[in-house]
């Protein structure tokens, strides 16, 4: 209803967003118009509306008192945690020194080579319509640029459950979000060298995310990622309020070409994250990012996302069918908001 998004006055969007937030609080469901207003306002004000809402969420859900901060990222003392979060605030990304144990990466790689997945349709319509389901990804003969795993299969994997209960990851997410976080997206995918040109559908063009109010993603490389294997790429500092140039934001919630983005930032702000397998990267993908085109081989990535609220875009619900990790069982009892999206009554 109302004005086309491009011409809609910000006040109108602010009212729809405020009413939608109230409805979300009372019914636990985001009205689509309110979600569109969140995006529209971001494009207009560069993130001020997200920041305002985040302040309220922090007051309503102050951080958990975590028992410890140790896990796959090491034993994070307060000083280290402050340093990580300072860099996240300033630059928008952090590459951890500590990597996943190699046996864990190997098990996850084997899972991803044997598990059913779907080939995502591509921009050039080589795979038209809905995703194609396959029994497993064949490294020798890819049929598309991106293979996605089903969230349910991923969260039912015991190694993934171990990461879901990892106190070092949770501590970083909580300190960055400044509230009790919600673990809200778990995904895993392959990028292949199937296409010679970057694919928008596979997130190989520059873009910002705006599915939630505030969030933090952890990308875990499960294969070695060199310059030809599609390194994850980011414009440092573009996650800050006003960090995306108005000329780009006013194009709307869309994919952007290299030329459009390169015209707005100096070379040194473009970060290409080449790294060995097991590398863990935290990133606020409110900033401009993409997966670079894979020219050779393939890249397997596991992604964990934490948000300060589930207000926003719709994700098909999935819940752990069985909690296999004992630590996750006790964590879910202690931190119900953290696991409200994947565990419990739903
Ligand atoms: O595959 C990549 O490196 C990009 C991922 C991405 O765009 C996202 O998770 O929002």
Q: What is the pLDDT of residues 184-226, one digit of tens each?
A: 999 999 999 999 999 999 999 999 999 999 999 999 999 999 9
Compute φ and ψ for 237, nearest 5 degrees. Answer: 85, -5
Task: Note the pLDDT of residue 346.
Answer: 47
Q: Which atom of ligand 1 is nearest to the CA of 233?
A: 3
Contacts 24+ apart (CB under 8 A), 246-252: 246/46, 248/288, 249/42, 249/43, 249/44, 249/46, 250/43, 250/44, 252/5, 252/6, 252/43
Mean pLDDT (the chain, rounded): 94
**Which has the closest alpha carbon to 185: 167, 213, 164?**
164
Q: Which atom of ligand 1 is nearest to the CA of 203?
A: 7
Statement: residue 129 has pLDDT above 80: no
Task: Note the pLDDT of residue 2.
Answer: 47
pLDDT above 90 as % of the chain: 87
Q: Which two tokens stand for residue 290?
A: 């993409």
Residue 35 lies in a domain: no
Query: What's the 205 CA to ligand 1 centre distance in angstroms?
Result: 9
Compute φ and ψ for 204, nearest 5 degrees. Answer: -100, 5
Looking at the structure of the chain, the number of domains it has is: 1
pLDDT digits (tens, 9 = 90+) for 161-182: 999 999 999 999 999 999 999 9
Residue 13 lies in a domain: no
Residue 3 lies in a domain: no
Query: What's the 190 CA to ligand 1 centre distance in angstroms?
Result: 11
Over residues 274-294, the mean pLDDT reads 98
Q: Which atom of ligand 1 is nearest to the CA of 209?
A: 10
Residues 6+ apart with CB under 8 A from 197: 293
Query: What's the 74 CA to ligand 1 centre distance in angstroms?
Result: 25
Report the CATH number that the domain containing residue 113 is assigned in CATH. 2.60.120.620
* Inter-residue contact 220 to 186 (CB < 8 Å): no
Residues 6+ apart with CB under 8 A from 103: none
| Ligand 1 site-directed mutation target among 146, 217, 285, most atoms within 8 Å of CB | 285
Using CA positions, which residue lies closest to atom 3 of ligand 1? 291
Q: Which two tokens stand for residue 48?
A: 């001020």
Residue 78 lies in a domain: yes
Residue 94 lies in a domain: yes
Query: What's the 157 CA to ligand 1 centre distance in angstroms?
Result: 22
pLDDT digits (tens, 9 = 90+) for 22-50: 999 999 899 999 999 999 999 999 999 99
Place of tokens 């945690």: 81
Ligand 1 binding pocket, CB closer than 6 Å:
203, 209, 232, 285, 289-291, 301, 303
Give the strand pairing for 182-192 and 298-307: antiparallel
Residue 12 lies in a domain: no
Contacts 24+ apart (CB under 8 A), 4-8: 5/36, 5/40, 5/252, 6/252, 8/40
Q: Which atom of ligand 1 is nearest to the CA of 230?
A: 3
Provide the domain limits for residue 309: 69-334
Helix or strand or coil: residue 291? Answer: strand
Q: In this structure, how many other beta carbons lie within 10 angstroms of the beta carbon of residue 104?
A: 17
Residue 38 lies in a domain: no
Element (H, E) at 297: none
Q: Where are the beta strands (DSSP E) in the chain?
A: 70-71, 74-75, 93-95, 117-119, 132-134, 146-148, 182-192, 215-221, 232-235, 270-273, 280-283, 289-291, 298-307
Q: Which atom of ligand 1 is nearest to the CA of 292?
A: 3
* Inter-residue contact 170 to 81 (CB < 8 Å): no
Query: What's the 60 CA to ligand 1 centre distance in angstroms?
Result: 30
Statement: residue 3 has pLDDT above 70: no
Using CA positions, which residue lies closest to atom 2 of ligand 1? 291
Residue 100 lies in a domain: yes
Query: What's the 220 CA to ligand 1 centre distance in angstroms?
Result: 11
Rounded Cα distance between 105 and 277, Å, is: 7
């Amino acid at each position: 209803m109302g004005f086309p998004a491009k011409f809609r006055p910000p006040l109108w969007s602010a009212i729809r967003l405020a009413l939608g937030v109230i409805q979300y609080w009372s019914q636990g469901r985001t009205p689509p118009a309110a979600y569109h207003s969140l995006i529209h306002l971001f494009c207009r004000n560069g993130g001020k509306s997200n920041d305002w809402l985040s302040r309220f969420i922090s007051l309503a859900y102050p951080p958990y008192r975590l028992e410890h901060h140790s896990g796959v990222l090491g034993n994070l003392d307060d000083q280290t945690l402050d340093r990580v979060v300072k860099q996240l605030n300033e630059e928008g990304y952090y590459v951890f020194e500590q990597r996943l144990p190699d046996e864990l990466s190997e098990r996850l790689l084997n899972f991803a080579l044997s598990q059913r997945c779907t080939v995502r349709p591509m921009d050039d319509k080589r795979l038209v319509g809905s995703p194609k389901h396959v029994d497993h990804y064949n490294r020798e003969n890819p049929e598309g640029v991106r293979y996605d795993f089903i969230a349910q299969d991923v969260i039912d994997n015991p190694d993934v459950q171990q990461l879901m209960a990892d106190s070092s990851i949770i501590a970083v997410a909580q300190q960055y979000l400044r509230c009790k976080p919600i673990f809200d997206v778990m995904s895993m995918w392959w990028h292949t060298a199937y296409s010679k040109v970057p694919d928008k559908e596979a997130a190989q063009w520059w873009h910002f995310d705006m599915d939630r109010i505030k969030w933090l993603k952890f990308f875990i490389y499960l294969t070695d990622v060199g310059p030809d294997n599609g390194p994850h790429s980011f414009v440092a500092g573009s996650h800050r309020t006003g960090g995306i140039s108005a000329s780009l934001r006013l194009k709307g919630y869309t994919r952007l070409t290299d030329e459009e983005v390169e015209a707005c930032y100096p070379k040194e702000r473009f970060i290409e994250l080449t790294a060995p397998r097991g590398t863990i990267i935290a990133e606020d993908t409110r900033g401009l990012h993409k997966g670079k085109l894979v020219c050779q081989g393939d890249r397997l990535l596991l992604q964990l996302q934490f948000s300060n609220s589930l207000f926003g875009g719709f994700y098909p619900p999935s819940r752990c069918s069985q909690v296999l990790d004992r630590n996750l069982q006790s964590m879910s009892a202690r931190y119900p908001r953290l696991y409200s999206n994947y565990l419990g009554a739903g």
